[in-house]
């Protein structure tokens, strides 16, 4: 097997007359990892799974039982994906284990599990799909008898591949003191593991990295709110607006 990495490809041709010219393509083939055990190798934020398809297991892997007293996470977010789908090929848990799955980059996303999570008495049925292009998985186990755990295959659908366009909505260019204001993220092409950076400057300065931004102004004055959208491939877009806060 070829190890994971980026490889050059060389071609040498010859026939009965003699040798031809050699051909070389640099960085022509990329071999990516496509099988993961939930654990240190999927710990966040450093280990986002960004391949388009693959297989994921509990911490016991394809041949072992899951361990006791585990809390592990994984984020499947192929760069530029518009959706990620997960199909379970095996699911064998005892009463001490739970798998929760969310549409989004963390547990603040929309739950895709039923009840309080997939368990021995509440196994997943059918395909689980995250339409944001990012799927967050949270696995927990406590003391007790263990079992084989789960095996699941994911696939993804590529998005537009277009650069992000930052934008947001808000009620008015004049906002009122002591009233909570929601700034809704309306950015285009913000798929998969896109990052958002909000920066509020003015009489009071603050920042956030949530998809949307909510804030209660307690000081009057002129403010500027900037939203920076950063795609998984590094392309970025910024939108700034200025408004007044009055009593």
Name the average pLDDT for the chain: 94
Hey, what are 165's tokens? 């366009």
Per-residue pLDDT tens over the stretch 61-108: 999 999 999 999 999 999 889 999 999 999 999 999 999 999 999 999
| 150, 94 contact by CB (below 8 A) | no
| 109, 74 contact by CB (below 8 A) | no
Residue 16 scores a pLDDT above 90: no
| 139, 72 contact by CB (below 8 A) | yes
How far the first Cα of the chain sits from its last, in Å, is 68
Mark residue 178 as left, alpha or beta (left: phi above 0; alpha: psi -120 to 50; beta: remaining): left
Per-residue pLDDT tens over the stretch 109-132: 999 999 999 999 999 999 999 999
Residue 22 scores a pLDDT above 90: no
| 204, 180 contact by CB (below 8 A) | no
State the chain's maximal CA–CA distance in angstroms.
Answer: 90
Residue 15 scores a pLDDT above 90: no
Predicted structure pTM score = 0.73
- Provide the pLDDT for residue 1: 66
pLDDT band at 17 (very low <50, low <70, confident <90, very high): confident
pLDDT cut 70: percent of the chain above it: 98
| 99, 56 contact by CB (below 8 A) | no
Per-residue pLDDT tens over the stretch 132-164: 999 999 999 999 999 999 999 999 999 888 999
Contacts of 225 by beta carbon, 8 Å cutoff, 6+ apart: 168, 170, 183, 198, 199, 200, 213, 240, 241, 242, 243
What does the alpha-carbon distance between residue 129 and residue 134 come to, in Å, rounded to a whole number?
Answer: 9
Question: SS3 of 70, please?
Answer: strand
């Amino acid at each position: 097997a070829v190890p994971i990495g980026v490889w050059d490809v060389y071609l040498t041709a010859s026939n009965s007359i003699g040798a031809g010219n050699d051909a070389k393509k640099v960085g022509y083939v990329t071999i990516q990892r496509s099988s993961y055990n939930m654990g240190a190798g999927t710990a966040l934020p450093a280990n986002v799974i960004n391949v388009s398809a693959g297989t994921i297991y509990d911490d016991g892997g394809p041949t072992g039982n899951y361990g006791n007293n585990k809390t592990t996470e994984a984020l499947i977010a192929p760069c530029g994906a518009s959706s990620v789908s997960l199909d379970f090929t095996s699911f064998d848990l005892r009463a001490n284990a739970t798998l929760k799955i969310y549409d989004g980059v963390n547990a603040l996303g929309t739950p895709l599990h039923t009840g309080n999570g997939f368990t021995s008495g509440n196994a997943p049925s059918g395909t689980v799909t995250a339409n944001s292009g990012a799927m967050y998985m949270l696995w927990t186990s406590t003391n007790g008898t263990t079992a084989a755990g789960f095996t699941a295959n994911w696939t993804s659908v590529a998005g537009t591949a277009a650069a992000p366009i930052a934008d947001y909505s808000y009620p008015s260019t004049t906002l009122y003191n002591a009233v909570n204001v929601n700034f809704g993220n309306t950015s285009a092409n913000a798929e998969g593991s896109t990052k958002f950076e909000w920066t509020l400057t003015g009489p009071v300065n603050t920042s956030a990295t949530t998809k949307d931004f909510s804030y209660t102004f307690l000081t009057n004055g002129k403010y500027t709110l900037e939203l920076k959208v950063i795609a998984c491939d590094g392309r970025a877009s910024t939108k700034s607006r200025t408004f007044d806060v009055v009593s």
